[in-house]
């Protein structure tokens, strides 16, 4: 399976507003949506979000997602995925 691109990543951080400010000021990301002060969607292209930040006491990488085609999806169906 060779995904064509990275769709989005979710990072956890102890301070979402500060991390979002850093991502915007230093890396050029733009805010798409906020959920309270604990979750934010950011973008660096025309997609709704390419990065999400979630409040957590355990900062780190939560997950990354990429689009896959129908052929690749069929390989995952036996594992109980949609």
Tell me the pTM: 0.78
Tens-digit pLDDT profile for residues 10-68: 999 999 999 999 999 999 999 999 999 999 999 998 888 899 999 999 999 999 888 87
pLDDT of residue 73 exceeding 90, the answer is no
So what's the pLDDT on residue 5?
A: 76
Q: What is the pLDDT of residue 40?
A: 97
What are the residues whose beta carbons fall under 8 Å from the beta carbon of 59, sequence distance 6 or more? 11, 12, 13, 14
Distance CA 50, CA 41 (A): 8
State the pLDDT at residue 77: 64
Give the pLDDT confidence score for residue 72 in this predicted structure.
Answer: 65
Q: Shortest CA distance to 39 belongs to which of 29, 47, 51? A: 51
The pLDDT score that the predictor gives to residue 79 is 60
What number of helices (H) and strands (E) belong to the chain?
Answer: 2, 5
Q: How far apart are CA 42 and CA 55, in angstroms?
A: 14
Tokens of 63: 């997950």
């Amino acid at each position: 399976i060779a995904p064509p691109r990275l769709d989005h990543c979710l990072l956890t951080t102890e301070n979402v507003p500060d991390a979002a400010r850093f991502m915007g000021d230093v890396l050029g990301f733009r805010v798409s949506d906020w959920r309270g002060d604990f979750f934010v969607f950011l973008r660096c292209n025309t997609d709704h979000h390419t990065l999400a930040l979630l409040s957590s006491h355990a900062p780190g990488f939560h997950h990354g997602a990429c689009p896959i085609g129908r052929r690749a999806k069929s390989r995952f169906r036996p594992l109980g995925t949609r």
